[in-house]
Amino acid sequence: MAWTGYLKKGWMTVFAAAIVLSGCGAGNDNTSESATTQPPTEESSGAANKAENESTAATRIVKDAFGELEIPTNPKRVTALYREDYLVALGVTPVVQYYNPMWGKQDYLQLEAPLFDVTGSIEALVVAEPDLIIEVGGIDEAQYEKYSKIAPTYRLSDEVLADTRQTLSVIADLMGIPEKAEKVLSDYDNRISEVKSKLGVAVGDEKIVVLRMNVADQSINIFGAKNIFVGQLLYQDLGLKAPAYAEAMTEGNMVLSQEALPELDADHIILLPSNGTWDDEGNTAALKEMLDSPIWKSLEAVKQGHIYPVERSYWQTGAITSNYKKMDELLKLLAS
């Protein structure tokens, strides 16, 4: 594993005095913990210096999608690539922000952190000097090893990423602040309960679907009921109804043919662009051309004026902050 090579390069050599096993688990059955401490060299250093040494030197062993690795017990310089939203929700500022030139970054977070282009050089990540990198599913072992040479790298499993609450809890645990996750989730669930009640009155059993217009060719992607970005919040938490087409999908999203559009049978269509904003000249023109086509004009949602162009970046992630923004927008569009 790459993390072992990283440790051999001196990750903990400055703290090589002793290794003390610790039983303070963080609520994860797969997590054990050890603390490496530098004992006082002089009796006069006292308990305060000892406690400080233990705090700065402590590490623990955790298990991720690729195996076990050693991480700081209380990491201070962290990035969670494409999951910065969870750090923000926990009151943590990431040292870099995920960026992909194909579609940009998560603008809604309004972070001032340096951008890390995940398609290019890892220089920005090296310069940021993280002490923990939290990675999402989709990277292979070669990429994992590359990041692990910079700092201990934790790869979130696909199972964890499929659940907003579990993702937050795991990230909070890695940060050593599981109690913050409990408070965030309590507030989050209270907000969901409020919004669910209001939307239930406003739309009842009317069916809602989320589509994405691919700017390059105007093809359409449909987000299914199991999509991790919208499915859990809209259809599980808020109890909104998905069209049968979206409900039957096993994929998170798929291209929807023009011929299949009438089969949607959706009362409300939420539409986002694949890149840029709807204010961009090219996107505005493409949207108008699409909605002026006979097949789109035949859709009941379009006839009723129930098509809603939205900002893409928070609709293409299923994290805490983005879901708050989705809920606010749903109330504005459907219940105002």
Which pLDDT tens digit goes with each residue over 200-224?
999 999 999 999 998 888 899 999 9
**Residue 199 clears pLDDT 70, i.e. is over it:** yes
Cα separation values, 111 from 93, 129, 131, 279, 285, Å:
8, 18, 19, 22, 30
Domain's final residue, options 181, 209, 242? 181
Residue 20 has a pLDDT of 35
Mean pLDDT of the chain: 85
Residues 213 and 134 in one domain: no
Sorting pLDDT into bands at 50, 70 and 90, what band is 19? very low
Give residue-wise pLDDT tens across range 286-303: 999 999 999 999 999 999
Percentage, residues of the chain above pLDDT 70: 83
> Do residues 215 and 328 share a domain?
yes
Pair (239, 318) in one structural domain: yes
117 and 22 in a single domain? The answer is no
Domain, as residue range, for 35: 2-71
Choose the weakest-confidence range: 55-69, 101-115, 124-138, 155-169: 55-69
Q: Residue 231 has what pLDDT?
A: 94
Chosen domain end from 55, 71, 87: 71
User: How far apart (Å, rounded) are the C-alpha atoms in residues 152 and 6?
Assistant: 8
| Spatial distance between the Cα atoms of 75 and 107, rounded to a whole number of angstroms | 25
Lowest mean pLDDT among 31-40, 223-232, 327-336: 31-40
**pTM of structure:** 0.81
Task: For residue 148, give both structure tokens.
Answer: 């692990």
- Amino acid 169 reads S
Picking from 30, 45, 71, the residue at the C-terminal end of a domain is 71
Is there a single domain that holds both residue 146 and residue 99? Answer: yes
Q: Is the pLDDT of residue 141 over 60?
A: yes
